[in-house]
Structure 1
Amino acid sequence: MGCISSRDKATTSDGTKKIRKPKPWRHTEPITRAQLNKMREEFWDTAPHYGGTREIWDALRAAVDADLNLAQTIIDSAGVIVQNHDLTVCYDERGAKYELPNYVMSEPTNLISDRES
């Protein structure tokens, strides 16, 4: 039990969750930067078709591409409710769920150069 003055370091002053970098991940087989970029583009092109609003998807994409401080500002400004600190699961103010795969947010541990493939 915490005292009234204690605050979880994972939350902001208004009680919303602070976002942080996603955990390292590994693709099933070594992947090149070109393949990773193609996967990311396909995700962002099709994501709005699975629900939610285009504005929130755009805000999530901008947040993923930004540094952590700017990403936090984007998320807060768009009214995104963060369930997981790494943005893998979020909600908008109407309750629509947004799920982001790790590959859109960070590099895999087994990324290889295009020349190695």
Structure 2
Amino acid sequence: MQHLDDSTRTELEAAAFRRLLHHLDEHKEVQNIELMILADFCRNCLSKWLVAAAEERGETLDYETAREYVYGMPYSEWKSLYQAEATPEQQAAFEARQAAKQEKGQ
């Protein structure tokens, strides 16, 4: 993508991000803990990254507003409608991933 100008690259990245959000919205059955176990990020991470990106540019974006954008609704609503309790197996896998990261010094 180095052949693209900065504006075009930014537009493509933004379009890909919107597509990712749409994809996650279409697959609400995918739990955040599963994303954390497999990819080490979740919808909440995306929200935090948006806040950080805003801050880097001198803009104000609060976490709850970012989460509402990522989830497509207030987080409390999404959580009550779609978030399942983590299973013991999921919790163990998440803890193992976190421990492995600690060993690597991340």
- Normalized per residue, the structure richer in helix is 2
TM over 0.5: no
TM-score by length of 2: 0.30
Compare relative contact order (CA 8 Å, sep 6+) and give the higher one, 1 or 2: 1
- Normalized per residue, the structure richer in strand is 1
